[in-house]
Amino acid sequence: MKQTDIVFIEIPRYREDPDENPAKLNGHLPNLGLCSLAAVAEKEGYKPAILDAAALQYSPRQIVDQIKAMRPKYVGITAMTHTIRSVAFIAGLLKKSVPDLTVILGGVHITAAPEETLRKYPGCFDVCVLGEGEVTLSELLKTLDKGGDLNAVAGLAFVRDGETVRTEQREFLRDMDSLPLPAWHLLPEMKSHYGTTLISAGGRVSNHLLTSRGCPGRCIFCDTSVNGHKLRSFSPDYIMEMIDILHKKYETNDIQFNDDTFITFRKNLFEICERLISRNYRLSWSCDARVSDVTEEGLSLMKAAGCWQIAYGVETGSSRILDFIKKKITLDQIRQAFAWTKKAGISTKGFFIMGYPTETEESIRETVDLMLSLDIDVVGLTFFTVFPGSPIYSTIKQYGQFDPDWDRTETYEVGNFIPHGFTAEELICWRKTALRQFYFRPRYMIKQLAQVRKPYDLYRLAAGAMKVVLRNVFNR
């Protein structure tokens, strides 16, 4: 096998079993962060590869065997909090099996908790990249190649003489267009290994994009340490080039724009919509948005450009909790956004959270009442989860039971936090009751059937209905 210089690995969750094959992930899409980093390495003259063990359903032993065969000098791994134990397990196996390998860790978890992570998993990671990784990785690889001093590279954490060293903080990238286009060509075959859930897809071949970084919000449950609060976006030219590649080369007919602030850049949004209309791609797409950012004019143009669904972070139906979590939106804005969106002919998705600090039965009822009153097609209802690096993390214990075990950072199960006045069983019961009340209304069922326009719509609706029934009736 051709030797590579650096392999970027996407690692799913494993138990500590070298022969465990991960389950097929429903809705697994390419890791855009790794695609960007691999593109940077390639631009700098290195020979990179991407090993998506989640997409390929590789066992830990298969990962190790593949790395042995590829013989890279470096391995780059990313981790979220709920995957850090699996990532450390794989990194440990790699360090034992390929002693000369340099393991580089990046991502949201290590950025939020570098000292704790390096202390908990000694010897697994040689150096960690904190925050946005592209410029740091470029400088890091050159420094490692020359045997230089890591202290000279901003945005790193590593252990030296038993102590964690953090170098100067890296400034956020200002010119987003300076980044090379994502290295999709290094991924496994796109159609065979990737795809979103039927409920989330507007077409049969779906993919996703991130067009901006940063979030101005200060919500207490979000960790923004990787990309910060300052908004930065790719230009319309750059975004359209990414769309062109996905559409023409990879035959993508549906795109999810997953950045929180896609609609916030209104000038970009309008220009992208107008270009999509003029090119007549017949491309469907969806996006996430803040209810405070949408306008009737914008929604009308988005619909004409192929937008079929918008997902809004509603979070709660309680004004008191909206203020507590610093969401900076109002119930009136929520109602207005959903009404405007449906008027424009765009499907709606609403994200809600249950089990906040200071949550009461009254505030949960307010959330359920709002959920039932809005014109929503799909509801996502999760449990409040506390992540390292979030503003609430340091004071969460005063609001209820908190388990700091990183494996407990679940959202669709009661995870690491239970507010005062509730038990886990009560929260689970509230969630199931809310979802049953929402999905099993005759009026809702009739409305969804009335929106069917083609056989694929009916197929997607039936698959979604089956999923809801299995989860909320048969507890599967």
Please check whether residue 182 lies inside any domain of the structure.
no
Average pLDDT (235-239) is 98
pLDDT at position 473:
47
The rounded distance, in Å, linking the Cα atoms of 298 and 245 is: 25
What is the count of structural domains for the chain?
Answer: 2
Please check whether residue 162 lies inside any domain of the structure.
yes
Instruction: Look up tokens 């290994």; give the residue.
Output: 193
The rounded distance, in Å, linking the Cα atoms of 319 and 278 is: 42
pLDDT > 60? residue 459: no
How far CA 235 is from CA of 175, 184, 271, in Å, comes to: 9, 20, 10
- Torsion, Cα 350 354 357 362, to 10 degrees, reads 100
Domain that holds residue 15: 6-166
Instruction: Look up tokens 């897809």; give the residue.
Output: 201
Same domain, 149 and 13: yes
Average pLDDT (88-96) is 97
- Residue 323: which CATH number? 3.80.30.20
pTM greater than the 0.75 cutoff? yes
**8 A C-beta contact, residue 1 and residue 67:** no
pLDDT tens-place string over residues 50-74: 999 999 999 999 999 999 999 999 9
Same domain, 234 and 320: yes
Q: Select from 65, 353, 64 the least CA-distant residue to 77.
A: 64
Same domain, 77 and 134: yes
DSSP type of residue 173 = P
- In three-state secondary structure terms, 381 is strand
Q: At what angle do helices 236-244 and 266-279 cross, to 10 degrees?
A: 40
Confidence class for position 469, pLDDT limits 50, 70, 90: low
Same domain, 114 and 232: no
Please check whether residue 189 lies inside any domain of the structure.
no
pLDDT at position 76:
98
**8 A C-beta contact, residue 16 and residue 59:** no
Same domain, 264 and 313: yes
Percent of the chain residues topping a pLDDT of 90: 82
pLDDT tens-place string over residues 240-281: 999 999 999 999 999 999 998 899 999 999 999 999 999 988
Please check whether residue 38 lies inside any domain of the structure.
yes
Please check whether residue 1 lies inside any domain of the structure.
no
Q: How many CB atoms lie within 10 A of CB 73?
A: 16
Q: Select from 333, 304, 330, 306 the least CA-distant residue to 318.
A: 330
Please check whether residue 172 lies inside any domain of the structure.
no
Instruction: Look up tokens 């400088």; give the residue.
Output: 139
Same domain, 347 and 407: yes
Same domain, 292 and 369: yes
The rounded distance, in Å, linking the Cα atoms of 213 and 261 is: 8
Please check whether residue 190 lies inside any domain of the structure.
no
| Structural tokens at position 125 | 């990671």
Q: Where are the alpha helices (DSSP H) in 71-175?
A: 84-97, 108-112, 114-120, 134-146
Same domain, 380 and 248: yes
Instruction: Look up tokens 């724009």; give the residue.
Output: 257
Of the candidates 166, 188, 214, which is a domain's last residue? 166
Please check whether residue 183 lies inside any domain of the structure.
no
| Structural tokens at position 85 | 């134990």
Mean pLDDT of the chain: 92
- Residue 67: which CATH number? 3.40.50.280
Same domain, 345 and 440: yes
Same domain, 146 and 201: no
pLDDT at position 445:
85
Percent of the chain residues topping a pLDDT of 70: 93
Same domain, 202 and 305: yes
Same domain, 85 and 206: no
pLDDT tens-place string over residues 268-323: 999 999 999 999 888 999 999 999 999 999 999 999 999 999 999 999 999 999 99
The rounded distance, in Å, linking the Cα atoms of 341 and 339 is: 5
Q: Select from 413, 425, 423, 417 the least CA-distant residue to 400.
A: 417
Of the candidates 166, 188, 206, which is a domain's last residue? 166
Of the candidates 166, 188, 207, which is a domain's last residue? 166
**8 A C-beta contact, residue 380 and residue 347:** no
